[in-house]
């Protein structure tokens, strides 16, 4: 299945870091009854993700939330410890929830996985952004090239709100 506008997100579990350590959050925990700006990246700390995609999100975070977004979420096929360190290094104002999809279960369930093993990366997520309302995809912006941020950045999603 490849996710598209109008689809409901499948049930999945993410790991998030809390003050008590790693915790499991389900898609319902994150999306039910909320408007969520979801940004997916191929990998924490990778060049395009770290230097282009993340700044596009956080430079627009106040404006995105000002348009009625309850949660800004970032998902990647990385473990919760890497995602927590990346949050520390990029989200200075604590504006986003970083979702670790360590085994790529969510990413595979929505058809957004790709094989990066030729570059030593294993299974990764395609780069995209979504507006999700109460678990249903309302806007979907998929990058044709994972090394670019042309349609999946915070500025693009902000313009769609």
Contacts (Cβ under 8 Å, ≥6 apart) of 49: 41, 42, 43, 76, 127
Residue 7 near residue 136 (C-beta atoms within 8 A): yes
Distance between CA atoms of 151 and 142, rounded to whole angstroms? Answer: 7
Residues classed as catalytic: 49
Rounded to whole angstroms, the Cα distance separating 88 from 35 reads 24
């Amino acid at each position: 299945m490849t996710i598209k506008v109008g689809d409901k997100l499948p049930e999945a579990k993410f790991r998030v870091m809390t003050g008590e350590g790693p915790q499991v959050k389900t898609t319902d925990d994150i999306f039910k009854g909320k408007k969520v700006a979801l940004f997916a990246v191929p990998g924490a700390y990778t060049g395009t993700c770290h230097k282009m995609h993340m700044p596009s999100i956080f430079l627009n975070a106040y404006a995105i939330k000002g348009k009625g977004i309850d949660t800004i979420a970032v998902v990647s096929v990385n473990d919760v410890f890497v995602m927590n360190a990346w949050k520390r290094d990029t989200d200075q104002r604590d504006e986003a929830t970083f979702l670790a999809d360590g085994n790529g279960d969510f990413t595979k369930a929505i058809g957004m996985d790709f094989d990066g093993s030729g570059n030593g990366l294993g299974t990764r997520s395609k780069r995209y952004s979504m507006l999700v309302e109460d678990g249903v995809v309302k806007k979907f912006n998929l990058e044709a090239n994972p090394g670019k941020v042309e349609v999946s950045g915070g500025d693009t999603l902000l313009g769609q709100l």
